[in-house]
Structure 1
Amino acid sequence: MKETSLYLRVGQLLPYAMSDSNTTVFTNPSNFILLGIPGLEVAHVWISIPFCTMYVIALVGNLTILFIIKREQSLHGPMYYFLFMLATTDLVLSTSILPKSLSIFWFNSREIHFNACLTQLYFIHCFSVIESGIFVAMAFDRYVAICHPLRHSTILTNHAVAKIGLAVFLRGGILVIPHPVLARWRPYCRSNVIPHTHCEHMAVVKLACSDISVSSYYGLFVVFCVIGLDVFFIGLSYLQILRAIFGLPRKDARLKTFGTCSSHLCAILAFYISTILSSLIYRFGQNVPLHFHVLTANVYLLVPPTLNPIIYGVLNKQIRDRLFWLFTHRGT
């Protein structure tokens, strides 16, 4: 056994143990090394500008949404409770990846402790699943409000909303637990370098020197459960909503009713289009450059938390009016 050092393009010497056969195994390495965006290291500072801008928008926008809903009594209803959950989820999701990514871009701080890496992995995937579940809950709320308006207050009581929210968070928490558990049990060999800005699930387990088929298949199962089933239930809800809308006698009534769904539909499209695009590129884009994989993975995690507060601030009349009142009131 001898100590060797691997010189990376990032200009950093990373010592780790290797055997002559290049198969040395070390269980639970103390640290992983995040490369950032491989191939674009010289542009890290420039790439950090849009990343940081999106993070600031996500923080300010979602905190504003939380503040408005908490303060305005008229917004204490099922749709806004789910929006409150969505804003909270977006804050956690963006904060799970951006601070570490920016520290890589700005300070070349690439090391991340093994346990911190698994924790980040869990939070990223857990809250992505939770966000998808919240969109399903919001679609159900729109279905009840439009198709059964007289029963909306009796079906979606505060107690029912709390139970739905709890179920959504438990589903996300439980479904993702095997990801870090399986990753922790695996032996790692040859390298502790992750060619990514954050501890993405498959990027971590690919460093293991054991069979990772269980992790890979379970990851596909989670994707199917989340994207497949959630999109199915959202689509089913909106089929019923469209039937009810087209059954209205007046055009202005149809437009007004559909307008109550516009912000939700835009948020859904922003989330699922970016998620599906990232999944397709990851699974079938073997010839796609690695830096494009990493950028796409960041986009699907950063764009929805950035766009959601903008979408609801622009398209939701109650939120928009309250925002306008806050700005004009502060100026007087």
Structure 2
Amino acid sequence: MSETRTWIEADLIVRDAGELLTCARTGATSGARSALGVIPGGAVAAREGRVVWVGPTSALKEEVRLARGGQEVDAEGRVVMPGLVECHAHVAFAGDRSDEFQLRVSGASYQEIGAAGGGIMSTVHATCDASDEVLRALTRKRLDYFLRFGVTTVEAKSGYGLLQDQEIRILEVYRDVAATHTVDVIPTLLAAHVLPVEYLDRPDEYIKMVIKKMIPAAAKHHLARFCDAFCEQGAFTVEQCRRVLEAGLEHGLLPKLHADQLSYLGGTEMAAALGAVSVDHLDHVSEAGIVALAAPDEGNRVPVAVLLPGATFFLGEGGYAPARRLLEAGARVALSTDLNPGSS
């Protein structure tokens, strides 16, 4: 009696990879670092957008059958790997701040450029002046560029509108572009980026407006997955950021935080206590902050430490985040570009 073979059916097969990277968690050298999961001469099969089989190409024909109308791709010895995730990017903006690089070379600091009318506010003005069509086109172009480098998911922040109608407009740009683009766009509300000129002497009123109006509006229309804030001298205090992130949580937006980039304020510890998804930058993180990011996952979410060395390099104002110390402590560490118009 012949055996009945059970086939795995796939509508996409990629075979003959020089190396197939599965990024499996098996073979981890520590809690923070895992093996790549390399399969020489590997193949991968998917159905309806989900991976259903991985293994050596030599075993493919014995286990997988291509569905009628499916596609089979010969990788011709190339590396096949999961798409990269860009987990900290400011994608929708207009304007150009290339002149600021010369100012930095001449000795001007990030804060001094901002105080003189440059920096984030310069981009805010240009972005608010741009049409929806222009912002969509610029966003598509930047996503195209990411895709060329293997990035298939981008966390995209607002933050260059600041006032409610403009912040919501940026999130709507992400929604519209994501509907037709290959890259998955995960939107984040970053209204608490800096104070708009209309609120320069009324920071608490601005925070109240973000909490009472912007966050509910973004959540009601499902325009954002995350809520972020910039915890820094010249931006927002630890307590102001806490209020913003707590309000986001109340409306279903998961917290993220820019913290300890240019100076130490204690934002990392606060975000970890809230169970933030990530804490980003960390150039000046404290030992207590490292401990908080390396805490064991015992039912409470422990933030990922997102490091942005490109921003540190471009700003040229200090040392890099302590990546090795974070890894050795057991923190989960991710790298990202911090794509933005002025510092990376």
Normalised by the size of structure 2, how large is the TM-score?
A: 0.26
Q: Which has the higher strand share?
A: 2
Which has the higher relative contact order, 1 or 2, with Cα contacts under 8 A spaced 6 or more apart?
A: 1
